């Protein structure tokens, strides 16, 4: 995405949707064969033999029956996985989603035109919002450029979910409400929600059909801040969105709260800005950008729950020292949507130097309206409990830049930068824990209709062999050719599996589909899914390393680990550096995000040394 055009008039954003190919169902034998290769790094010889027998019985028996039913389902749907994935990965999950599912992180402007500076919050927020609204208008008018791989268009449907979208809690299953419409489809909600000191305000982002200018947005934000300064804090109803999903659904449905009506029908479902005014030194950052990144990432994922609505598709959080972060529900879309938006705003701010150079005229318009929620004492106790539970989060977050080299040096050695980082992470985990780590890496399937992601498993037999060869204490300088050969094999296998996953030939989503067919048919859970190696290798969402390349832009985010003994690892790759956010649970004695990152740095140097020496 770096250096590419983000606006287009030659093509319309959604023009290729009707011509995108359907998501294919992979070949059963191929999927099971890939599965066996994926579990092998975690199995003893005896365990692997047992799993081979289980897979054989599955393929010759119930697996073949389920596969045929899946093929039949795929004939009547352009994406056989879409509804299942949304339900299984997000809407049926009952754990608190704001901490365990949402992603978030800092904005990039702190590195250039907007360094930390007190007293700039409102002015900067107004310009930030204006560019964000320009992006909203790009999607509305279908001028956002179509993402492509070469000449191949990608599915753009997820961009409809960035604005005007909210997840609504249910007792057993949540739902997604989306009110976005393109200009050709009709009117689209245009108001904002602003949250400040536990209170909630709204105003329309349009006046006479035109987006408010930064001076006009500044006037609205100033009014809200003045309403809140010196006053008691509000009830902070949004803290309830941090709760366990069923509990939140029951509290929300209680008639005495009066909350369901405005939340569901009109307000919080639309474009949502969370506005946080810090006081008395509650949040201070140094001027060192990496320290700021770490602090902002922590605040984005675990900060004050009363200044973000955890079920919203997009929360922009604005701090009193002129820095920004975001927190977003993962259910409606994947991170690349926010990356695109964040990169657009970043480039626009860079181009104008972070200064508005247009008209200072402020039109006549209504002042913001405060939304009042009728909250009784019981609900106030629920809010207090939600705040207490959320602030006890023991999520460890580190965010650092490895600046010794980046994409340019890696590509000079004819290596794929993403694979380089993934293999370094495998080596770092092995060095730290003395064993291989089951790993999930995001592979996009957006070349297909409504495609989202497939799992690519970086912990291959080849990667494990390379790690063991690299860490062999008896290895000598003469073993360099052996190490390099093992490294090249690991690179080749990773690249092959990633390409196949992106082409709809991964196996994890296929196995999920077969499992869900059995569930829908009321059949017993097949033996394959009960095999200990299924979970040990990462099956069922039990990956120890949950990773994703955020891209090659200035945007970075973070996510919590999938499992108690795991890590979350988001990273971006620039020409001269690799920037990563790593998370772990402090309460687990096995993991430490800081140590893993330091081992990653060592491993990056190790791979560069091996590849450099081999080319001499």
459 CB-near residues (< 8 Å, 6+ apart): 38, 41, 42, 426, 436, 437, 438, 439, 545
Q: Per the residue annotation, which of 330, 450, 494, 510 is the catalytic one? A: 330
Whether residue 43 contacts residue 7, with contact meaning beta carbons closer than 8 Å, is answered with no
Write phi, then psi, for 266 (nearest 5 degrees). -130, -45
Q: Cα 396 vs. chain centroid, distance in angstroms?
A: 17
Spatial separation of the C-alpha atoms in residues 259 and 34, rounded to whole Å: 49
Distance CA 454, CA 443 (A): 5
Would you put residue 186 in left (φ > 0), alpha (ψ -120 to 50) or beta? left
Indicate if 494 belongs to the active site.
Answer: no
Residues 206 and 278: their CA atoms lie apart, in Å, by: 28
What's the CA gap between 165 and 184, in Å, rounded? 19
Q: How far apart are CA 320 and CA 339, in angstroms?
A: 24
CB distance 359 to 259 below 8 Å:
no
Is the separation of the CB atoms in 596 and 427 below 8 Å? no
Q: What kind and span of H or E run contains 409? A: helix 407-412
Please report, in angstroms and rounded to a whole number, the separation of the first and last CA atoms in the chain: 33
**Angstrom distance (rounded) from CA 563 to CA 540:** 11
CB 433 within 8 A of CB 590: yes
Which among 473, 475, 487, 394 is positioned nearest to 431, based on CA atoms?
A: 473
DSSP for 25-47?
A: PPPHHHHHHHHHHHHGGG--HHH
Q: Give the contacts of 455 (CB within 8 A, at least 6 positions apart).
A: 440, 441, 442, 443, 501, 506, 508, 509, 538
Active-site residue numbers? 330
């Amino acid at each position: 995405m770096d250096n590419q055009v983000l606006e287009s008039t030659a093509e319309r954003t959604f023009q290729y949707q009707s011509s995108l190919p359907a998501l294919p169902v992979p070949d059963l034998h191929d999927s099971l064969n890939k599965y066996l290769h994926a579990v092998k790094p975690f199995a003893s010889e005896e365990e692997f033999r047992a799993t081979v027998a289980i897979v054989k019985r599955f393929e010759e028996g119930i697996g073949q029956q389920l596969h045929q039913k899946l093929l039949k389902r795929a004939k009547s749907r352009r994406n056989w996985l879409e509804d299942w994935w949304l339900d299984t990965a997000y809407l049926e999950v009952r754990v608190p989603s704001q901490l365990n599912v949402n992603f978030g992180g800092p904005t990039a402007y702190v590195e250039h035109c907007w360094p930390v500076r007190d007293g700039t919050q409102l002015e900067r927020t107004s310009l930030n919002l204006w560019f964000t609204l320009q992006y909203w208008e790009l999607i509305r008018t279908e001028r956002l450029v179509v993402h492509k791989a070469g000449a191949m268009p990608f599915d753009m449907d997820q961009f409809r979910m960035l604005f005007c979208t909210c997840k609504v809690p249910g007792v057993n299953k949540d739902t997604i409400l989306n009110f976005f419409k393109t200009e050709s489809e009709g009117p689209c909600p245009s108001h904002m929600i602003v949250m400040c000191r536990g209170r909630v305000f709204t105003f329309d982002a349009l006046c006479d059909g035109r987006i408010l200018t930064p001076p006009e947005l500044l006037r609205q934000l100033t009014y809200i801040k003045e309403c809140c300064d010196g006053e008691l804090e509000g009830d902070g109803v949004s803290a309830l969105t941090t709760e366990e999903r069923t509990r939140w659904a029951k509290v929300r449905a209680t008639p005495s709260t009066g909350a369901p009506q405005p939340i569901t029908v009109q307000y919080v479902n639309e474009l949502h800005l969370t506005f946080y005014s810090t006081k008395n030194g509650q949040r201070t950052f140094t001027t060192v950008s990496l320290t700021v990144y770490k602090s902002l990432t922590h605040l984005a994922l675990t900060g004050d729950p009363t200044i973000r609505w955890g079920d919203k598709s997009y929360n922009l959080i604005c701090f009193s020292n002129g820095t920004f972060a975001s927190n977003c529900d993962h259910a409606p879309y994947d991170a690349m949507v926010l990356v695109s938006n964040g990169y657009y705003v970043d480039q626009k701010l860079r181009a104008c130097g972070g200064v508005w150079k247009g008209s200072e005229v402020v039109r006549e318009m209504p002042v913001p309206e405060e939304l009042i929620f009728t909250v009784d004492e019981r609900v106030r106790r629920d809010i207090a409990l939600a705040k207490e539970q959320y602030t006890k989060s023991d999520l460890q977050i580190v965010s650092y830049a490895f600046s010794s080299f980046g994409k340019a040096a890696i590509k000079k050695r004819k290596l794929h930068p993403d694979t380089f980082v993934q293999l370094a992470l495998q080596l770092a985990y092995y060095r730290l824990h003395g064993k291989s780590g089951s790993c999930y890496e995001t592979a996009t399937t957006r070349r297909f209709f409504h495609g989202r992601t497939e799992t690519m498993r970086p912990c291959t037999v080849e990667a494990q062999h390379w790690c063991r060869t690299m860490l062999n204490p008896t290895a000598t300088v003469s073993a360099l050719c052996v190490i390099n050969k093992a490294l090249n094999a690991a690179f080749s296998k990773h690249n092959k599996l990633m390409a196949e996953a992106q082409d709809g030939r991964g196996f994890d989503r296929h196995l999920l589909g077969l499992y869900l067919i059995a569930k829908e048919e009321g059949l017993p859970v097949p033996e394959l899914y009960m095999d200990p190696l299924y979970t040990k290798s990462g099956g069922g969402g039990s990956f120890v390393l949950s990773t994703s390349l955020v891209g090659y832009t200035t945007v970075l985010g973070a996510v919590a680990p999938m499992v108690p003994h795991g890590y979350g690892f988001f990273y971006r790759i620039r020409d001269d550096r690799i920037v990563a956010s790593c998370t772990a649970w402090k309460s687990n004695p096995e993991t430490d995000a800081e140590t893993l990152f330091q081992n990653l740095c060592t491993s990056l140097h190790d791979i560069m040394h091996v590849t450099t020496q081999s080319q001499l």
